[in-house]
Chain A
């Protein structure tokens, strides 16, 4: 019954680019929920059978993503079987190589991504985000592609989000040591609670 935050390791790219993110998110989950949590995250290879033991996985990176055939087949099966994967563009750049290559992979595996409407239940799964996905400081400061990305994108399975894709760069926003959050007016990882609770309940 214990929830384990699993980071996806894939053969191409820098999958480990947000090493503190799992701890920050686990800290937030422990603070606001009573979910049984694994205190440390796990690292799981996308191309392995082990990934099916972790129905919630997180993937990020800056570099081009080229999945192997095994990784593509596993990802397809993982989503079909009911897994939930969050992929975040660590570049915050729609012209960046991570975004372009991931979108291409999503088109290849799932036939494309769909827009998640900003009144979707994922924004009310625990905390309520009236305006849809919370903005990040990178967006506010005009870094990366200098855009505020209004919506997230997803692969749906039977009406549920199976794979959630973000250009918001939560990888940077949430990649901090848990104790750093005490100096912030608003915990930026609250939306992560929604993602986990959504995955665990819908």
Chain B
């Protein structure tokens, strides 16, 4: 065999090796398993696909997979498995949003959307579903207040939920803002309104710094001390001790009763107070400070008809319509209907009515600068607590009152950095996340990243070039020897 023949055989061998290598690369890049078709994504499937990646996964979904399964599948898609999907039934757009509320007892508010129809859900905090009966969501929408604690909350299906298939996830949300509660400042004269408000708000968990003008010279600082710190009540007297004393005549009567020392004036700023509550016109002494406070982001609540003159310009309404007389509790549809009401007159254009009665607007809100101003036309609210006929009157009264500062102190929320560990537990909009991971139905993955198994086209081209070159040289050499 001549040297030329050896060279031709060598070129042939190079071409065969190059083509064989290209075929091996191609076959390896196609995965080791056949394409899979499923109606739902399960953990066993995902485990199997992780060990032996299929060339593609076709999904015909009646329900969105759980967030963990979705993310797992997205990871497989990122390594080369082609994922395509279509929906065999309309996929509901569920969502959850968790936000802080200025409320010591229920500092979290969870907004829930579970689809379009009525359905039952169970709230979850972290990964735990709450105990107790499920919640019925009318129209699939609802809002819940939560006790302190969870950074992640959401909902899951409740057994028997008619429009949520078994195993379907709900949604969960991570709290992304913080709201440090500061005390409330209560300004007015000593009155049943001020006292019952302060009492109810304190019992709800607020710290109330009350500055009550009892006379032209006496401002009483009822700043919480022993009451708020929940010191135990004085020890009980021994039986029989009640009414005891010592022999008369041994003690002199009080020479003089000293007037109270005036407390340090409050520094009214958003740094010190979550909201300022004004119960009557005597708070007009602080009008300038209050207006500056609201403009800087503070919350203001003004109740009743006795408006401080210096504050009327920032209220939702500066006058009242014809007042409603108080009536007997238990004879009205709801307790507040029995209260005396001064309906708010024409609201300013930027004000929003929050509560309405048949006589007119009872509560309204508007923004002033960076702060919020809430005005209530109810008078002698304390009558609700004293006269209410419901067994849970005190609780109703507290909850309604606590909603007032919660409405105006929201402007002081601060965004916080999300903890990655907690972020992984939240899935606020599953349908949106699914589209983001796998694109439109029927389409190939929108973003799968660089596959480690995808054939390298440059390398394949290089191999093909080598094979073609070797074969061409072999063919040319043989033609020159007049061989086919």
Contact = CB atoms under 8 A, between A and B. Distances in A.
A158 to B, nearest CB: 6
Contacts of A114: 233-237
B185 to A, nearest CB: 14
Name, among A115, A117, A153, A159, the residue most crowded by chain B CB atoms within 10 Å (CB to CB): A159
Interface string A120-136: 11001111111100111
Contacts of B256: 186
Given A125-B220, A128-B259, A149 B247 contact: no
B254 A134 contact: yes
Contacts of B386: 52-53, 55, 78, 81-83
Contacts of B51: none
A178 to B, nearest CB: 18
A160 interface: yes
Given A1-B280, A149-B244, A202-B227, A124 B260 contact: yes
Contacts of B260: 124-128
A201 B243 contact: no
Contacts of A89: 243
Nearest to A155: B233
Interface in B202-218: 203, 210, 212-216, 218
B193 interface: yes
A46 interface: no
B325 interface: no
Top 7 A-B pairs ranked by shortest CB distance?
Answer: A127-B257, A147-B245, A94-B243, A200-B190, A149-B245, A142-B248, A128-B258
Nearest to B255: A186
Contacts of A191: 257
A115 B238 CA distance: 9
A159 B226 contact: yes
B394 A156 contact: no
B465 to A, nearest CB: 89
A143 B220 CA distance: 36
A33 interface: yes
How many of chain B's residues touch chain A, expressed as a range? 35 or more
A99 to B, nearest CB: 5
B458 interface: no
A200 B243 contact: no
A126 B385 contact: no
Interface range on chain A: under 10, 10 to 19, 20 to 34, or 35 or more? 35 or more
A140 B216 contact: no
B456 interface: no
B387 A52 contact: yes
A136 B233 CA distance: 27
A60 interface: no
A112 interface: yes
Nearest to A77: B386
Contact of B237 (A3, A55, A78, A115): A115
A146 B247 contact: yes
Interface string B285-324: 0000000000000000000101000000000000000000
A197 interface: yes
Interface in A169-202: 186, 190-191, 197, 199-202
25 contacts: A33-B215, A36-B191, A82-B195, A82-B199, A82-B382, A94-B242, A112-B239, A114-B233, A124-B260, A126-B220, A126-B259, A129-B254, A135-B251, A136-B253, A140-B253, A142-B248, A147-B246, A149-B245, A158-B199, A159-B227, A190-B257, A200-B190, A200-B194, A202-B199, A202-B222
